[in-house]
């Protein structure tokens, strides 16, 4: 069978025009609809024009034929990574143990990495980004205040007197 380059070019132009606006599910359904409209050889032509796998297009056609294309879900219920609080119970308590409410620090500093390492030494697998996110959820401030009472030396005018040499 001869390859239909005109149709492939048209599908490619459509794909380039809308690909950035669609999520993975909508893209799969669009590719399946294009394939069905083309008919025999549509999966191969759409796959060639878009770079999508034939299995992806076939899955989209199945979704359309079953009627699950109407659902608003990206993936099946229960799919995706489970939260750390479900897969590793107790890691939040292990995180809060070394952190005091008055801890200050920069979110990009080694603080979150050090805390992640401390939690990992207790047998949990967590990343520094998970630690930073959980600290934020728990209302810990990760930013250092520019001026803090610890730096106050008691004489407000000291800075001015030393600068002007009174």
- Nearest partner of 52 among 73, 74, 27, judged by Cα: 27
Range of the domain at 146: 82-166
Q: What is the DSSP letter of 41?
A: T
Is 76 inside a domain boundary? no
pLDDT of residue 46: 92
Residues 13, 65 within the same domain: yes
In a domain, 51, yes or no: yes
Distance CA 72, CA 68 (A): 9
Q: Do 12 and 63 lie in a common domain?
A: yes
**Whole-prediction pTM value?**
0.44
Do 42 and 95 lie in one domain? The reply is no
Question: Which two tokens mark 98?
Answer: 């070394």
pLDDT at 32: 93
Q: Last residue of some domain: 43, 70, 97?
A: 70
What is the reported pLDDT for 74? 63
Residue 90 and residue 148 in one domain: yes
Say if 142 falls within a structural domain: yes
- Residue 44 belongs to some domain of the structure: yes
Number of domains in the chain: 2
In a domain, 77, yes or no: no
**Domain end call among 25, 49, 70:** 70
Looking at the fold, whether 166 and 101 belong to one and the same domain comes out as: yes
Residues 95 and 166 in one domain: yes
By C-alpha distance, which of 136, 135, 116 is closest to 127?
116
Domain finish residue from 50, 70, 90: 70
In sequence order, which ranges of the chain are alpha helices (DSSP H)?
5-18, 24-38, 42-50, 54-66, 84-87, 91-96, 110-121, 128-137, 158-164
Question: What six digits make up the tokens of 140?
Answer: 């810990």
| Cβ atoms of 49 and 41 closer than 8 Å | no
64 plus 133 within the same structural domain:
no
Instruction: Assess if residue 75 is contained within a domain.
Output: no
The C-alpha atoms of residue 28 and residue 26 are separated, in whole angstroms, by: 5
In a domain, 29, yes or no: yes
Task: Give the pLDDT of the chain (166 residues) as one tens digit per residue.
Answer: 577 788 889 989 998 898 888 888 889 999 999 999 988 888 899 998 889 899 999 989 888 888 765 666 666 677 777 878 777 888 888 777 766 554 554 444 557 888 888 888 888 888 888 888 888 888 776 565 555 555 555 565 665 555 555 4
pLDDT in tens, 44-64: 999 988 898 999 999 898 888
Asked, for residue 108, whether it belongs to a domain, the answer is: yes
């Amino acid at each position: 069978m001869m390859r239909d380059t005109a149709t492939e070019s048209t599908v490619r132009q459509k794909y380039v025009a809308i690909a950035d606006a669609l999520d993975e599910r909508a893209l799969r359904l669009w590719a399946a609809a294009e394939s069905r409209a083309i008919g025999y050889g549509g999966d191969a032509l759409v796959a060639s024009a878009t770079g999508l796998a034939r299995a992806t297009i076939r899955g989209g056609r199945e979704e359309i034929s079953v009627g699950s294309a109407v659902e608003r879900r990206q993936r099946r219920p229960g799919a995706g990574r489970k939260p750390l609080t479900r897969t590793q119970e107790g890691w939040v308590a292990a995180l809060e143990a070394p952190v005091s409410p008055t801890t200050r620090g920069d979110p990009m500093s080694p603080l979150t990495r050090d805390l992640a390492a401390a939690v990992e030494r207790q047998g949990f697998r967590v990343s520094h980004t998970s630690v930073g996110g959980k600290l934020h959820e728990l209302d810990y401030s990760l930013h250092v205040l520019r001026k803090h009472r610890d730096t106050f030396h008691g004489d407000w005018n000291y800075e001015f007197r030393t600068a002007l040499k009174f």
